[in-house]
A and B are shown apart, each in its own frame.
Chain A
Amino acid sequence: MQTFIGYERADGSVGTRNVVAIASVMDNSNPVARAVAAAVSGTVLLPGLYMRGQLGRDREITLNVMAGLCLNPNVAGVVVIGLEPITTGELTARIAPSGKPVQFVNVQPAGGTINAIAEGTRMAARMVREVSKIRSREFPISKLRVGVECGGSDTTSGLSSNPAVGIVADRIVAAGGQVIISETSEFFGAEHLFAQRAKDAETKKRFLHEIAALEKEIVDQGIDLRGSNPSQDNIRGGLTTIEEKALGAMAKAGKSPLVGVLSYGEAPKAPGLHFMAAPAPAVENLTALAAAGCQMVVFSTGVGNPIGHPVSTIIKVTGNRNTAETFADNIDYEVTGILERNERIEDAGTRLFEYVLSVASGELTSSEVLDVRETIISRFGTSM
């Protein structure tokens, strides 16, 4: 049986990394969070945007997704930085039931920026030392939750890297793990094929509803999607239409049945392949997948997309020989043999799967060592 080396959490999940998150409740507490994260190694910064002035569903989503990032198994403990106790309490209340250590500092009662930074830095320093005592050990692949994504796609993505990622997805599902494919707009033109894989009529209906609802929103607004998707770099890479991009993108999900449909940032409960309705741009999508608890995202790229995420480890894979050479600093694994040497997709995917398990066990990726990481929570309403 294949395994990986991870860190067990109180809620039974298993991290592939062991970091302390410095989570900012709102935009105006970001500067303190940033100073604390910079002062203490072993931390990752989770800046917030907005929060004050957010209402209703939009506010709920922001709180839940920030809590989801903190609940990600890679996070061993959380220091929450806020402005005032009430809103901070709303966030910590969503993290505490996991049994994960959570502490907080609020800038107003702390007596301003300098005191808050000092207090937060002491908390973070103590917490990093505390969680460093957690010993990693072997776990089955059924403990992995992995996102599959593509960005900076070109025509090589659909021909090589996406199908290779699909092999990885199938291996994880076969071992009892969880895989999430997302990027709703990138199913336009391919959804009829993917829907056939739904485990039952209800799942099929929910999946098709998510695709249709987004397209209706675009059409109702009178928008021509061609203005943004395919993007200019996709077009330079030979992708002509969203349909062509979607048909290639779908290959990342392998061939397993679709067992569930998730809302933005929602964690899956059952094993198997899931679809999450979430915006396609890389940073927004990675944030949604990380909030759903993905320890890793296997990210296929054609012309080259560098971005990683503070919480979820991002693995960049390309099948484009030019990108493997000219964008090498940001590429973790290449499957160029598929197009260049007629390597079987199955063989390339098997090699990639071994690499993914090595990363799960601690091998660092490019976006981690270069700290090319970003996070952003999508907005679904306006501030009042």
Chain B
Amino acid sequence: MLRAIVLHSNDNVATLIDTGRAAEPVQLTGEASNKIELRVDVPFGHKCAIRPIGKGAEVLKYGQVIGRATLDIRPGDHVHVQNVEALRGRGDIEEGR
């Protein structure tokens, strides 16, 4: 079965260490032990959501904030630059200032 690592109990994403295909189940390891089903293809090393993440909510990995959701994200979704933005080093937005 596909494997994905959860690094902290508060995290809402897991990192796949296999190449994920839509509709395949993923065994979570590390700080979680349940299974989730992928909604889309997720490449090796990329992240999938393990909980719903509302638009504007913090994305958590290592138990830390790695960015903010720019769209509503559902468990099993691919979590990456298309639905998450960095909050640091942002001279282009008012709140970066």
Contact = CB atoms under 8 A, between A and B. Distances in A.
B66 interface: yes
A241 B90 contact: no
Interface stretch (A42-50, A121-129, A223-231): A223-231
Contacts of B84: 240-241
A241 B92 contact: no
A181 B89 CA distance: 20
A154 B46 CA distance: 9
Given A155-B45, A155-B46, A238-B47, A244 B66 contact: yes
A45 to B, nearest CB: 35
A235 interface: yes
B45 A238 contact: yes
A224 B47 contact: no
Interface in B41-80: 43-47, 59, 61-62, 64-67, 79-80
Interface in A212-237: 215, 218-226, 229, 235, 237
Contacts of A222: 91-92
Nearest to A193: B64
A188 B90 CA distance: 11
Contacts of B92: 222-224
A229 B88 CA distance: 11
B91 A238 contact: no
A242 interface: yes
B85 interface: yes
Contacts of A332: none
A312 B9 CA distance: 40
A235 to B, nearest CB: 6
A238 B80 contact: yes
Interface string B4-30: 010100000001010000000000000
A242 B88 contact: yes
Contacts of A340: 17
A131 interface: no
Interface in A199-223: 215, 218-223
B80 A219 contact: no
A185 interface: yes
B91 A244 contact: no
A243 B65 contact: yes
A238 B19 CA distance: 12
A220 B91 CA distance: 6
Interface string B31-42: 000000000000
B91 A243 contact: no
A119 B63 CA distance: 61
Nearest to B79: A240
Contacts of A285: none
A220 to B, nearest CB: 7
Nearest to A226: B86
A237 B45 contact: yes
A322 to B, nearest CB: 7
Given A218-B91, A220-B91, A243 B86 contact: yes
A29 interface: no
A220 B93 CA distance: 11
B86 A302 contact: no
A218 B97 CA distance: 10
A247 to B, nearest CB: 5
A238 B80 CA distance: 7
A320 interface: yes
Interface of A: 154-156, 158-159, 185, 188-190, 193, 215, 218-226, 229, 235, 237-238, 240-244, 247-248, 302, 320, 322, 339-340
16 contacts: A154-B45, A155-B15, A156-B45, A159-B15, A188-B88, A189-B65, A220-B91, A222-B92, A223-B92, A224-B91, A229-B89, A238-B15, A238-B80, A241-B66, A242-B86, A247-B64
Interface of B: 5, 7, 15, 17, 43-47, 59, 61-62, 64-67, 79-81, 84-93, 96-97
For the complex of A and B, 10 pairs with smallest distance between CB atoms: A225-B89, A241-B86, A238-B45, A188-B88, A244-B66, A224-B92, A238-B46, A241-B67, A219-B91, A222-B91
Given A220-B91, A221-B91, 8 more contacts: A158-B62, A225-B88, A226-B90, A240-B47, A240-B67, A241-B86, A243-B86, A247-B61
